[in-house]
Amino acid sequence: MNHYAVERPNAIANTETVEACCKKSLTKPAVVLSRTRLARYSDYDFEPFSGRILFREPVPSVDENNNPIYIRISYEVEEEFGDKHWVGGFDAKVKLSDNVSFGAAYAKDNDKQTPYEIAGANIEVKLGSKTYVAS
């Protein structure tokens, strides 16, 4: 079995295409003689998070006419970093009297792809030494 690593890990699972490409020769690498699509689980296993590929059988470097064989792997990746954007919020509580307090919270994420905003308020009323109601 042959282990290889792809250039960028964090691939999206099941998006890979693996092909064995036979080219004309080292002097004419643009001429592709054949392309064979390999099948996952029978020809190879791919671990998308680490970017490791394991071939079940040795991959020949040349064909019977001494033309080079290359492996081409195409896959989609999760971007690690998006555009910079602001994220912020607050959480505050005010004691209105010995028995009543009021609170509010707010958060906002200005991500262009997945914007998010949430707000909330709460009130707490003390009814006795060990009893209170919160909402």
E-assigned strands of the chain?
2-5, 17-23, 32-37, 44-47, 52-55, 69-74, 87-95, 100-109, 116-126, 132-134
- Res 95: pLDDT: 93
- Res 51: pLDDT: 84
69 plus 101 within the same structural domain: no
- Res 106: pLDDT: 95
For 116, phi then psi, to 5°, come to -150, 140
* Residue 82 is assigned to a structural domain of this protein: no
Residues whose CB is less than 8 angstroms from the CB of residue 101 and which lie 6 or more positions away in sequence, other chains included: 93, 94, 95, 123, 124
Handedness of CA 127, 131, 132, 133 (dihedral sign): negative
Based on C-alpha coordinates, what's the Rg of the chain? 29
The parent domain of residue 103 ranges over: 87-134
- Res 100: pLDDT: 94
69 plus 96 within the same structural domain: no
- Res 8: pLDDT: 78
What's the total number of domains in the chain?
2
Handedness of CA 50, 51, 55, 61 (dihedral sign): negative
- Res 82: pLDDT: 67
What is the value of pTM for the model shown? 0.54
- Res 99: pLDDT: 93
43 plus 95 within the same structural domain: no
Residues whose CB is less than 8 angstroms from the CB of residue 130 and which lie 6 or more positions away in sequence, other chains included: none
Residues whose CB is less than 8 angstroms from the CB of residue 55 and which lie 6 or more positions away in sequence, other chains included: 1, 2, 4, 43, 44
Neighbour order of strands in the sheet with 17-23: 32-37, 17-23, 69-74
18 plus 68 within the same structural domain: yes
Please, what are the averages of pLDDT over each run of 10 residues along the chain (135 residues)?
Answer: 77 90 80 92 90 90 91 82 82 93 93 90 90 85
- Res 53: pLDDT: 92
